Amino acid sequence: MKVIRTAALVAAATAAVSKAKDYARENPQKASETIDKAESFVRGKAGPKYADKVGKGSSALRRSLGLSAGSSTGSSAPSTTGSGGGTTSPTAQTSDGSSPTTPAGYDPSI
């Protein structure tokens, strides 16, 4: 019974990935914007400590969907909208040598 459930789960995941790739191929701009929104949300929840890992995951997702490596809105830069915009951490650096930024929606109390 466990093997059947696992096989069904793998089949469902494979179908979902296939549909996501088809959607990204047909609507690259919308797919990129959706990834940007998801990345922003995850950065807000994870905080600056994991900014480089979130960026790497986002890049891997874009590559697997066949999208360009760069984001359409430049989500790696701090948000300039709203009065509570992101701040830059002066002490740490990411693997590419740039300073990680605190996302606009980041709440350290969470």
- Rounded Cα–Cα distance for residues 91 and 99 (Å): 8
pLDDT, mean of residues 9-35? 91
Grade residue 107 by pLDDT with cuts at 50, 70 and 90: low
Best CA proximity match to 67, nearest among 37, 38, 39, 32: 32
8 Å CB contact between 28 and 87 = no
- The pTM assigned to this predicted structure is 0.54
CA-CA-CA-CA dihedral for 86, 91, 95, 101, to nearest 10: 0
**If you average pLDDT over every residue of the chain, what do you get?**
75
- Has residue 98 got a pLDDT over 70? no
